Amino acid sequence: MRTVIKGGTVVTASDTYTADVLIDDEQIAAIGQNLAGDMTIDANGMYVIPGGIDVHTHLDMPFGGTTSSDNFFTGHQAAAFGGTTTHIDFAIQGKGMSLKETLDAWHGRARGKAVIDYGFHIAITDLNEAVMEELPYCIDYGTTSVKLFMAYKGALMVDDETLFRAMQQAAKHGFLICVHAENGDAIDVLIRQALEAGHTEPKYHALTRPPELEAEATYRAIRLSEVAGSPLYVVHLTNAGALEAVQLARGRGAPIYAETCVQYFFFTKDDLDRPGFEGAKWVCSPPYREVSDQQALWKGVADNSLQVISTDHCPFWYEGGIDGRPAGKELGKGNFAKIPNGCPGIEDRMKVLYTAGVRGGKFSINRWVELCCTNPARLFGMYPKKGVIAPGSDADIVIWNPEATATISAATQHMTTDYNLYEGMEVVGLPQMVFSRGRLLVDGDTWKGEAGSGVFVHRKPFKV
């Protein structure tokens, strides 16, 4: 079956031009003029872009006595409705588990449900000697990035020795170390002191995780990676101080990369101080910062200090534990430290950034594609299979209608939560048709996908 997308404006990280795109089965067969196929789709007036790639998500993830509320079907469906066709999720090692066992467990979560293509980062929480020896096999497993947490003391956090030894292994074997950079020891002290003082409201989540502690951990991780000789990818960077650490490192030529997440452009720590318990909806780590940090981030993504915008999609119900829902944010009523950390966003990323970023004059449409599609593929071993419109690449294609409008609302979203951070926001520019490896998943408002059709992407080792 050959499908031609006719007369659209193809947008890549570097070019914008009018052409027909021919899809043959799962791949892009040709780009040119006057192409013909068995089926023709008129894309006049539309952009033809690579499917979005979200390299930071947490589907079906156990956290603090509950699980994130989207699984590998609902989360994928929401992603596709938002123009995202590939994601990388975190397979989180349980205490005493091998990396293989960890990955098998996460493959099990995706099996029979996946609709878009997916990969895994391995999140290491227990780096014993057996796991240290197993680390090089990540490459064989096709999971060529390893995440370590410098925060969540007593749960996910690793110490500097562990982080440093993993970096040495990464340097030797060609995988990419990803860090959640916050000083977990100091945060632990601040949380205890806040609770002892009777400060239990959601806003104390932000106040006990100040930006300096993210900047410090970012700087420390960068310097450790320089000594170990490994590249480093800083996940969900939120503030000007942490950004400065990345800029300094990149300035001296160190292979340091960083992402921010879409929500950090839009919210501040004041959102956690909304009336009653509502601020809990905005609890994630690191927390929202100041308007001046938002401005630094916009500048950072435009000048390539930051290379990727992801979501850290990790939804929880605001009112969970009822109607068959898993427990949600209500777990932290009376104790901010027990609020499940995470926010929904996998469905909103592309449109919110098109509206505020491209139409808002923060960056070009090509940069939007680069930040949301191409760089994620390049940094995580999927390029040029993913992240670009080119002959031989997977036919992961979004036909983007730049004039379509919508109002974001929890009432109409596909993510499995009872709220949306961007509730009421008007967006201009929406996915019209979404293809994953040539299969039509979304046609306007209509779902065309089939559970189990998404596949695991066996990623290549890290190479700049």
In this complex, which beta carbon is closest to Zn ion, that of residue 49 or of residue 146?
146
**Strand blocks (E) in 408-457:** 426-436, 439-443, 446-447
In this complex, which beta carbon is closest to Zn ion, that of residue 87 or of residue 439?
87
Q: Of all helices (H) and strands (E), which one includes residue 165?
A: helix 160-173
**DSSP state, 326?**
P
Beta-bridged to residue 47, according to DSSP, are 9, 400
| Span interacting with Zn ion, options 71-79, 142-150, 213-221, 308-316, rule CB under 5 A | 308-316
Give min distance, CB of 58 to Zn ion, in A: 6
Beta-bridged to residue 40, according to DSSP, are 4
Q: Which two tokens stand for residue 310?
A: 């992801």
Place of tokens 């969970």: 320
How far is 5 from 369, CA to CA, in rounded Å?
19
In this complex, which beta carbon is closest to Zn ion, that of residue 77 or of residue 285?
285
In this complex, which beta carbon is closest to Zn ion, that of residue 72 or of residue 354?
72
Give min distance, CB of 10 to Zn ion, in A: 32
Give min distance, CB of 314 to Zn ion, in A: 6
In this complex, which beta carbon is closest to Zn ion, that of residue 312 or of residue 370?
312
Give min distance, CB of 183 to Zn ion, in A: 17
Q: Among 149, 287, 136, which Cα is nearest to 211's?
A: 287
**DSSP for 258-311, written as a single string:** EEEEGGGGT-BGGGGG-TTTGGGGG--SSPPB-HHHHHHHHHHHHTTSS-EEE-
**DSSP for 127-150, written as a single string:** --HHHHHHGGGHHHHT--EEEEES
Give min distance, CB of 155 to Zn ion, in A: 13
User: Binders of Zn ion among 46-65, rule CB under 5 A?
Assistant: none
> Which one of residues 117, 201, 259, 312 is an interface residue with Zn ion (CB under 5 A)?
312
In this complex, which beta carbon is closest to Zn ion, that of residue 88 or of residue 352?
88
| Span interacting with Zn ion, options 116-124, 269-277, 307-315, 434-442, rule CB under 5 A | 307-315
| Span interacting with Zn ion, options 100-108, 122-130, 149-157, 309-317, rule CB under 5 A | 309-317
Place of tokens 């994601």: 87
Q: Within 13 Å and on the Cβ side, how many CA atoms surround 405?
A: 5
Give min distance, CB of 294 to Zn ion, in A: 19
In this complex, which beta carbon is closest to Zn ion, that of residue 147 or of residue 439?
147
In this complex, which beta carbon is closest to Zn ion, that of residue 178 or of residue 395?
178
In this complex, which beta carbon is closest to Zn ion, that of residue 123 or of residue 353?
123
* Angular region, 128: left φ>0, alpha ψ -120 to 50, beta rest: beta
182 binds Zn ion (CB under 5 A): no
Q: What is the SS3 assignment for 181-248?
A: CCCHHHHHHHHHHHHHCCCCCCHHHHHCCCHHHHHHHHHHHHHHHHHHCCCEEECCCCCHHHHHHHHH
Give min distance, CB of 123 to Zn ion, in A: 9
In this complex, which beta carbon is closest to Zn ion, that of residue 11 or of residue 148?
148
How far is 28 from 451, CA to CA, in rounded Å?
23
| Span interacting with Zn ion, options 7-15, 186-194, 271-279, 304-312, rule CB under 5 A | 304-312
Place of tokens 């490896």: 437
In the stretch 263-302, what mask flags binding to Zn ion with x, by CB under 5 A? ----------------------------------------
Q: Among 93, 136, 95, 86, which Cα is nearest to 378's?
A: 86
| Span interacting with Zn ion, options 63-71, 259-267, 273-281, 310-318, rule CB under 5 A | 310-318
| Span interacting with Zn ion, options 76-84, 91-99, 106-114, 306-314, rule CB under 5 A | 306-314
| Span interacting with Zn ion, options 36-44, 167-175, 305-313, 424-432, rule CB under 5 A | 305-313
Q: Which two tokens stand for residue 207?
A: 């106040």
Give min distance, CB of 1 to Zn ion, in A: 38
Closest residue to Zn ion in the complex (CB): 312
In this complex, which beta carbon is closest to Zn ion, that of residue 152 or of residue 336?
152
In the stretch 357-386, what mask flags binding to Zn ion with x, by CB under 5 A? ------------------------------
How many residues touch Zn ion under the rule CB under 5 A: the total is 1
How far is 289 from 284, CA to CA, in rounded Å?
11
Cβ neighbours around 74 below 10 Å, total:
19
Place of tokens 């068995």: 38
| Span interacting with Zn ion, options 171-179, 276-284, 311-319, 350-358, rule CB under 5 A | 311-319
**Residues making contact with Zn ion (CB under 5 A):** 312
